[in-house]
Amino acid sequence: MAAFHLEMGQVWGAGRMKMRHRRIILIAGYSVMFQIEGKEGTAEHCGISAFQEWIKSNGAVLLKTDIIQHGHTVSDRIIGERLRAIRVGARLSQDEIAERVGLSRTAIALWETGRRGCSLKRLGDVAEALGISALDLLRQEAKTRSGSVQLEERLLTLFRNVDSFSREEVLRWLERRVETSVDQSNRSVVVSRFEADLMETGKLQ
């Protein structure tokens, strides 16, 4: 079989009538994550060889190469930070997530520290166990039911349940964090650290 060089942003299709285009949004190891035309809100996974076989069997051609919109080549570190923030926000341990998807706790820990602990398909399973899609992990401003929106709602609930002195302390703490934050996309990580400090120690660090 002829080898086709695959890269993120490539759009393949139009080899046959009624073929839905496929846009590659991430390549990791031997796996490909892609979107199918008409299903932009979801992502599919397969092996590189399987994607190449689809190209060959359908006579697909490379139509264009887009600049990646969803995450702009999001790094493993950013994906790991988002996974951890969402997991902490959902009050789930690494062991609980690992058990839900049939992985080891080490695999979850590897992802959260910016190293790939499993395939893209398994990462999708981890995301689903957290109540989001794998595609959300690639979006710079992912707002999901179990992600930043839920964290913000709980933060507001906590804020309303403390006295006025504590509220002032909370505001000062947040202002310091915002001043030192250089990347707004890490906002959910900052919020989850605040929650952990407040709920586990009762004090702000």
List, for residues 61-72, the tens digit of each pLDDT value.
Answer: 888 887 544 434
What single string gives the DSSP state of each residue in 23-57?
EEEEEETTEEEEEETT-TT--EEEEHHHHHHHHHH
Tell me the one-letter amino acid at 66. D
pLDDT at 191: 52
From 133, 131, 202, select the one nearest 170 (Cα to Cα).
202
Q: Give the pLDDT mean for 11-28.
A: 81
Give the rounded percent of residues in the chain with a pLDDT score beyond 90.
9
Q: Give the pLDDT mean for 39-67.
A: 85
Q: Which helix (H) or strand (E) holds 89?
A: helix 76-89
Q: What is the DSSP letter of 137?
A: G
By three-state DSSP, how is residue 22 classified? Answer: strand
pLDDT at 96: 93
Q: Which CATH architecture has domain 76-200?
A: Orthogonal Bundle (1.10)
Give the rounded percent of residues in the chain with a pLDDT score beyond 70.
68
Question: What average pLDDT does the structure give for the chain?
Answer: 74
Beta strands in the chain (DSSP E): 10-13, 22-28, 31-36, 44-47, 61-65
Q: Give the pLDDT mean for 89-93.
A: 87
Q: Does residue 146 carry a pLDDT above 80?
A: no
List, for residues 156-204, the tens digit of each pLDDT value.
Answer: 777 777 788 888 888 888 777 766 654 444 555 455 555 555 555 554 4
Q: How confident is the model at residue 100 (pLDDT cuts 50, 70, 90)?
A: very high
Q: Give the pLDDT mean for 41-67.
A: 85
List, for residues 70-84, the tens digit of each pLDDT value.
Answer: 434 456 777 888 888
Task: List Cβ neighbours of 34 (8 Å cut-off, separation of 6 or more).
Answer: 22, 23, 24, 25, 43, 44, 45, 46, 51
The rounded distance, in Å, linking the Cα atoms of 193 and 205 is 10
Selected residue with higher pLDDT from 2 and 15: 15
Q: Is the dihedral of CA 112, 116, 119, 121 positive or negative?
A: positive
Q: Is the dihedral of CA 141, 143, 147, 150 positive or negative?
A: positive
